[in-house]
Chains A and B, each alone.
Chain A
Amino acid sequence: MKIIVKANEQKEIFIDNNASLDFVLENNASLLLKYAIFNNIKNITINGKLKKNAVLKAAMADFSNGKAKVNASIELDDIGANANWDLASLATGSDQKQFDISFIHNHQRTIANMNNYGVALNSSRLVFSGINYIKKKAKKSQTNQNAKIIVFDQNASGKANPILKIDENDVLASHAAIVGRLNDEHLFYLKSRGLNEKEAKALIVNGYLKPIANHFESKTKLRIEKMIQEKCHV
């Protein structure tokens, strides 16, 4: 699928399958991009270019099954381009999912913000590798990346590789990445305050996954909440 949002126009796209996407946001254009993937996942490639003062707000809710790579590469090509990316991914069973998300600041005064949240259960594997690349001359740019994975089971694994590549001095960049493993001490702590096992786990998975639901309209929102309940048994 290829989309061009013309100068000064606004567009909203909702995709509930494995469709790949190429898009260009022209000057002052804005795009609200919402992905919700519930069934089997296949490789997805997203390429985007943002022109002057273009705004991207992207949210991806991934509750799919399977083995795949999602590759998103967003280029901030002109002054004032602003991109925001929120991802929540749940890996269960023997899923193997990798998300390579990159923001490339090609021009000065561009802003990017990336949040990747994930939960890995059973014997699944979840990898977030986010790249924020500020090129030479892209001064006064701001870039931020936040990656968090919680791993529930012994055989599950999670990995967060945040990469900041900065070729310019006069910029603001930050990143945080945490892969946590749920252990008996956490569960005991929550239980000792009156939560049973199910309630304790629900509190944790909801903390990671539920906020993404707010990006979607009510039908999808409910579906996300139901998915969390069913797949996490909470």
Chain B
Amino acid sequence: MNNLVIKNLHVSVDGKEILRGINLTINEGDNVALLGPNGHGKSTLLMAIMGHPKYVITCGTIAFNKKDVKKMSVDERSKLGLFLGLQNPSEVPGVNNSDFLKNILNVRREKPMSLFTFYKELEGAYQKMGIPFEMANRNLNEGFSGGEKKRNEILQMLLLNPKIAMLDEIDSGLDVDAINVVAKIINQQHQKGTALMVISHYARLFDLIHPNRAVIMVNGKIVLDGKADLIKRIDKEGYEWIKQELGIDINKIEHNQVSIGACATKVALKEQNK
């Protein structure tokens, strides 16, 4: 059974504490919607899980199948089966898209694929995505439109067949038809056993991929972890009600409220209490 277990995760960016004690478990078969107002740390969580050097873990743990993810390099995390579809995929100059795709497939195999097998697989993936195969010969995301970049992310997910796919606003920049195609691929991927953690601001995507759970992040903390019907409520009412019902002030992010020292002390206390 695959599972991702995050405990008391604190993450800082440029010395500012963004995540303040995240506890979250993603189990095999999960299809989790990650919601929350803009700027409250959703992308930060995914970046920290994937290991972006800017997102510094000041305390807490991330384990995937009991392995300490924090100790692994970014590429090791990818090979372990973590996939992050980025909110803003990079344009990498001078790298041919199909060369790139061939490389990312081959580094996880003992023997490189034959060119024929690779092209067959690639062609199949492009067909499924409804992207013209000529796109494979363009440079990696260079000059791609927003929607093309997002589709290129999903194409990579499809080819890499990860154990857990974290998709960050994968629907932004996509037209209605493209959202339908992308949702179909995500559903197929989920059926193949890939757990999902999906960030989106639009109920449309969630209507198509049917999450079993919704997790709401406010001020760098998870304030609700419940059933998928939370998505509908947020779509209708926004996040204001959370303020009333849970007594959380959403608009006030006070940085450095919790210092690294305090975070360390908390952990120490927890350890003592065990």
Contacts and interface: CB of A to CB of B under 8 A. Distances in A.
B156 to A, nearest CB: 6
| Majority secondary structure, A binding face | helix
A188 B53 contact: yes
B103 A180 contact: no
Q: How large is the interface on A (under 10, 10 to 19, 20 to 34, 35 or more residues)?
A: 20 to 34
Nearest to B141: A189
B99 A189 contact: no
Contacts of B93: 148, 150, 178, 180, 182, 186, 204
Contacts of A150: 93-94
A186 B95 CA distance: 11
A195 B108 CA distance: 9
A194 B52 contact: no
B205 to A, nearest CB: 22
A182 B51 CA distance: 19
B79 to A, nearest CB: 5
B112 to A, nearest CB: 12
Contacts of A192: 50-52, 74-75, 77-78, 84, 86
A42 to B, nearest CB: 28
Contacts of A178: 93
A178 to B, nearest CB: 6
Interface string A113-154: 000010000000000000000000000000000001010000
Contacts of B99: 203, 206-207
A204 B92 CA distance: 8
Interface of B: 50-54, 73-75, 77-79, 84, 86, 89-90, 92-96, 99-100, 103-104, 107-108, 156, 160
Interface of A: 117, 148, 150, 178, 180, 182, 184-186, 188-196, 199, 203-204, 206-208
Given A199-B103, A203-B95, 12 more contacts: A117-B94, A186-B90, A189-B90, A192-B75, A192-B86, A193-B78, A193-B104, A193-B160, A194-B107, A195-B103, A195-B107, A207-B96
Top 5 A-B residue pairs of the complex, sorted by shortest distance between their CB atoms: A180-B93, A191-B74, A194-B78, A189-B90, A193-B104
